[in-house]
Chains A and B, each alone.
Chain A
Amino acid sequence: MDKSTFDTAKVVISGPMHSALKHDSAHKHVTGTADYIDDIPEPTGLLHGALGMSDRAHAEILSMDLSEVRRHPGVVWVFTGKDVPGVNDVSSNGSHDEPLLAETEVEFDGQPVFAVIAETRDAARMAARKAKIEYRDLPHFSDIDGALENGAPLVIAPMTLRRGDAKAEMDNAPHRLKGQMRIGGQEHFYLEGQIAMAIPGEDDEVTVWSSTQHPSEIQHIVGHVLNIPSNAVTVNVRRMGGGFGGKETQGNQFAALAAIAAKKLKRAVKFRPDRDEDMRATGKRHDFLVDYELAFDDEGRIHAVDATYAARCGFSSDLSGPVTDRALFHADSSYFYPHVHLTSIPLKTHTASNTAFRGFGGPQGMLGGERFIEEIAYAIGKDPLEIRKLNFYGQPGSGRTTTPYHQEIEDNIILRIVEELEESADYQARRNAVIAFNRDSRYIRKGIALTPVKFGISFTMTAFNQAGALVHIYQDGSIHLNHGGTEMGQGLYTKVAQVLSDSFQVDIDRVKITATTTGKVPNTSATAASSGSDLNGMAAYDAARQIKERLVAFAADKWSVDPAEIVFLPNRVRVGETEVPFPDFIKQAYFARVQLSAAGFYKTPKIHWDRAAGRGTPFYYFAYGAACSEVSIDTLTGEYLIDRTDILHDVGRSLNPAIDIGQVEGGFVQGMGWLTTEELWWDEKGRLRTHAPSTYKIPLASDRPKVFDVRLVDWSENAEPTIGRSKAVGEPPLMLAISVLEALSMAVASVADYKVCPRLDAPATPERVLMAVERMKRV
């Protein structure tokens, strides 16, 4: 099709909402022409930065001799915290607990203490190794146990959720049990590492390209470290090579360092850490230690839950408050706890500051909830699925709809999803077959599990639930789209473009998707909490609505027709009896001096949250799903395979089924990695030793389930008036992978004839599986 003309004979446009459109950059991805920040043509005179990093978990800095660093050929500038023109702090929450460059004390191995700027990246990296830093070691605690034993401080006040009287119910219920679960952290392993490039401008101005999910925060931080107002800082990002939460706050330091050096040296500066430096210096998913006590009856119905959630937060608070809060919000998984008492323990540790990661604490909370179900199921000798169904939240009016945070669940569809999947995956017959197989197999054992997902959608920080978009229509009818969301691969740009395509009824290739920039849409929220298309889709819809209202008013006036007789048809507008091609229509509107640009805005209704009271309505709605996984383990080595996974997932009325299926598949496999082979390992000196793909093992193609069937719930519509009645999809599917851990657990349990809950912790590496098998042998 000729790109300069609009096809006005069409019955339907290409790319309306709900169509399975390709990712807008797919063609560029496969040809290698999609530019990431390191691919942008470099400005003349570009300099390169490298980090000088601490090699101690906790120490006082006695002296820093950087003379050899400065003397290294090609080095232009070496700087420390003292050289920061503004405030030496990059904390994302304003708590000033995260120095950009540590000055007197280092609090984790890998913490940046100085920066080198050189003519080449190699020169900067080599020079950085020549520092002579004298330390006095201080006691360190790098894990949860160490932190608890040493009475480590908390990085933020804990949160407590309470309803009923859990402690009293423990004594009253027919059964009670205590247990503990360890849940490992996770490295994001975005394929494109952290990177920032800064170009100095006139006066106090600076422009930064940053691989970030949160351009407005980068803008704020750069202003903060340079002591300049936000209006002097422009932050751009066209796309990231993956984010997963790891670029919500963790890009701050690299952007800040590049901007400081660029302003000081009046040259463009790029900061791109090596993979190992990236993994050592930046935070990860929090690992958790969950201590729980459960009360339940003979049927397996939960009476009370009392649990604490200790988390390794790292040396600063970063996002640990909202992350540990969200763990508590999801400690109920899909279950009604009549009496409940939950407390977070956000521990300070001498490790990189843990941060956002797809699910944001929710996965850890939910995994604990599923462990509770397993405990009860093994304690009373029933199929865990039976216990699940017994404990699901009920429908409104059932008296079983109140969450531990006192929000009422009004849109509950979990039972229907689970029952449909149970049927389509042939769960009962396969479970029987698995049990029969295990009876006859001495060394290879199988397990199967069907687990639910219920995930609350909205930022729990109410202010973040707002978004803006900027839409222009040019005289030729082509449309320019900008919004505050960022593209990290999740297809947000495509979905929001579909909203505009749909609104104006023009083919999607008429909509130009432009890089996110703080100069066009201000005060944006991080593209996080699965909220990207909910918020930005609605903001773009609002902008389109404004322009369309003006266009309708203009046309009604010009052609003297009733506004109701003006209809946007594919690539044309019907005005009364006549049809005008869209570009002609726009041209005429231009000549009539109609404003063809609008800033759209959206804020999520209904939600509010009172953290101190532990009460409110933090979530606008819930997304649901269920997965059934079958696995085989080798009880001689602990090795395993995922034989089959069936998924049924709820995205409301999908904005783009192709993209949503991709999110579900990818989220599941990423969650599977978290729960199986992805293990973070610190040595006794508090040094992370798994800081590259050679030592940190994310799933490969051959790790995904041998049979992998993923479907979207085709009857679901969001009960709330979201964009196209769709639901968020980024985070919820990650937790479908809990089915894998529980299936492994069942295979282990077979060794002791399913009489004992194996308490298989995460990640279930072959080693953890084998050791659990050994424990079962000793039962």
Chain B
Amino acid sequence: MKDSIRFILNGEDITLSDVHPAETLLDFLRLRRRLTGTKEGCAEGDCGACTVLVGRLLDGKLFYETVNACIRFLGSLNGTHVVTVEHLAARNGTLHPVQQALVDYHGSQCGFCTPGFVMSLYGLWLSDEKPARPAIEKALQGNLCRCTGYEPIVKAAEAVSRVRPSTLFDPLEKTRSEIVSRLWAMQTRETITIVSGQDRLIVPGSVEALARVLADEPEATVVAGSTDVGLWVTKQMRALTPAIFINHLNELQAIKTTDGGVTIGAGVTYTKAFEILAPKVPTLGKLINRIGGEQVRNMGTIGGNIANGSPIGDSPPPLIALGATLKLRSATGTRMLRLEDYFIDYGKQDRKPGEFVESVFMPYPAAGSQFAVYKITKRRDEDITAVLGAFYLTLDEAGDVNDIRIAFGGMAATPKRARTVESDLIGKPWNEETVDRAREAFDADFQPLTDWRATAEYRQLTAKNLLRRFYLETVGTPVELKRFEGVS
């Protein structure tokens, strides 16, 4: 059994056997290493001041993703390459083009958010040679700036895409192959266990090992992307022991597509899910790009989003409307259930001790069907849902509703089907009158709450209006605010 984790920090190999399960990457950087370029702005993954890159091997390929160091646990970094802002400029002080552009375009004022912006733009620079404005704005969804109004930052991002000298110093392009081999050497199929005082962190070497560990430790906290669990620590100061880190398990990150649908491993991040789902189901792609910021999408997983049972988690309603099934696994085997049956009540899911979510199967919308999902928030991007509605419709030959499945988030204690509305619609002609008549049925299905995101009244009214929006879309008159031509 191994008792240390290994990763690369900028250029340096790090081996740690004194890691507390709740120790964040940000605290490690700032407190232990005095790498103070990475800042704490919120400690909840919303402001991006702590953005760093994490390089990891997936299917043998090394790629770098922006993450929030504030809610990324050190225990989740085995076999990765952590890159901080201190790594970007050349030794002789020459700025990286991304940094230079921010200087040239006056992209910093108070400067506190700036290292985070540098890292997000660097992440974009690595993955997109000529980002258009929508891509730039997407890359910056997880970075807050209170001074500049963003305009000079966006202009800097555009400018840097135009200048890309071949002789350029880039710390990651230059060392890519060397880093790959160093990371390969760090991969392990052995389970890592680190004990510190009363606390333990476990990094299982395989999915089988995960099942065994969980059988022995049914009370353990399974941590994948830590975009939720991270806040238990930073905000609620909860002890996290034993903690089982699973985000390195490539088996859980498998995506299997068949003609009828796709099986998404529980460890698949939103970013990776987007890549596969957006071309198949564009409305889902749009939704995924409004979950968290880029850093959160690079960490957060579909499995975690389901497993934590949030009534406002964004992926369950569309998955329920599409008729998704969940695969749960334990040391004794696997079982399947309909996703909508998994959510029992607020904070209560049908997951037995020792079980974990292994994958979810999402059937593609059938030919001739209509499907859409709409997320309503106070701020368009990087905001938690007030109301989310997913609609799946099939019509018969006469144009009557053959089947409709409507699922909402933010309207009840769990993600929930609008059964009364559905039955009101089934068998009726799909027209404005039918849709208008069904509005009343919402009151039977939902009694939403008032909170800081929205009042009950707004939630109910919007839910009804979303059905109308769906109707309009199905008959070819979409109602859409377009920030960019062709992009909503």
Contacts and interface: CB of A to CB of B under 8 A. Distances in A.
Interface stretch (A251-259, A318-326, A549-557, A695-703): A695-703
B462 A33 contact: no
Interface in A695-716: 695, 697-704, 706, 708, 710
A703 B380 contact: yes
B95 A276 contact: no
B425 interface: no
B65 interface: no
B34 A41 contact: yes
B381 interface: yes
A765 B106 contact: no
A534 B238 CA distance: 50
B38 to A, nearest CB: 7
B376 A32 contact: no
Contact of B112 (A242, A681, A704, A766): A242
A704 B108 contact: no
A694 B44 contact: yes
A209 interface: no
Interface string A665-682: 111111000000101010
A443 B479 contact: yes
Contact of A191 (B146, B457, B472): B146
B257 interface: no
B149 A668 contact: yes
A563 interface: no
Given A637-B465, A693-B144, A694-B44, A191 B110 contact: yes
A189 interface: yes
A765 B151 CA distance: 23
B186 to A, nearest CB: 26
A191 B113 contact: yes
Interface centre among B40, B137, B151 (most CB of A within 10 A): B151
A482 B146 CA distance: 26
A275 B108 contact: no
Main secondary structure of the interface of B (DSSP, over half): loop
B49 to A, nearest CB: 6
A248 to B, nearest CB: 15
Interface string B131-148: 000001110110111111
A23 B146 contact: no
Contact of A189 (B146, B235, B237, B380): B146
A192 B39 contact: yes
Given A39-B36, A639-B376, A242 B146 contact: yes
B137 A701 contact: yes
Contacts of B410: none
Contacts of A26: 102-103, 106, 108, 111
Interface residues of B, number: 87
Contacts of A240: 110
B118 to A, nearest CB: 5
Contacts of A28: 111
Contacts of A693: 41-42, 44, 46-47, 144
A284 to B, nearest CB: 14
A692 B44 contact: yes
Contact of B483 (A661, A702, A766): A702
Given A639-B376, A665-B151, A190 B110 contact: yes
Given A32-B115, A192-B41, A641 B481 contact: yes
Nearest to A664: B149
Contacts of B85: 31-32
Interface stretch (A78-86, A469-477, A488-496): A488-496
Given A33-B37, A274-B43, A189 B144 contact: yes
A639 B380 contact: yes
A698 B144 contact: yes
Contact of B141 (A637, A677, A700): A700
B95 A31 contact: yes
A702 B85 CA distance: 24
Contacts of B344: none
B393 interface: no
A191 B148 contact: no
Interface in A1-53: 22-23, 25-36, 38-39, 41
A76 interface: no
A379 interface: no
Interface string A732-770: 000000000000000000000000000000000111001
A636 B43 CA distance: 35
A275 B43 contact: yes
A771 interface: yes
A697 B378 contact: yes
Interface centre among A637, A638, A698 (most CB of B within 10 A): A637
A240 B146 CA distance: 12
Interface in B388-433: none
Given A30-B107, A700-B382, A767-B458, 15 more contacts: A28-B111, A31-B88, A192-B39, A242-B112, A275-B41, A275-B44, A637-B465, A666-B109, A694-B42, A695-B453, A700-B143, A702-B138, A704-B150, A767-B378, A771-B458
7 contacts: A26-B103, A30-B118, A242-B112, A639-B481, A662-B147, A669-B149, A700-B140
6 shortest interchain CB distances as A-B pairs:
A32-B37, A489-B110, A241-B112, A29-B111, A669-B149, A489-B109
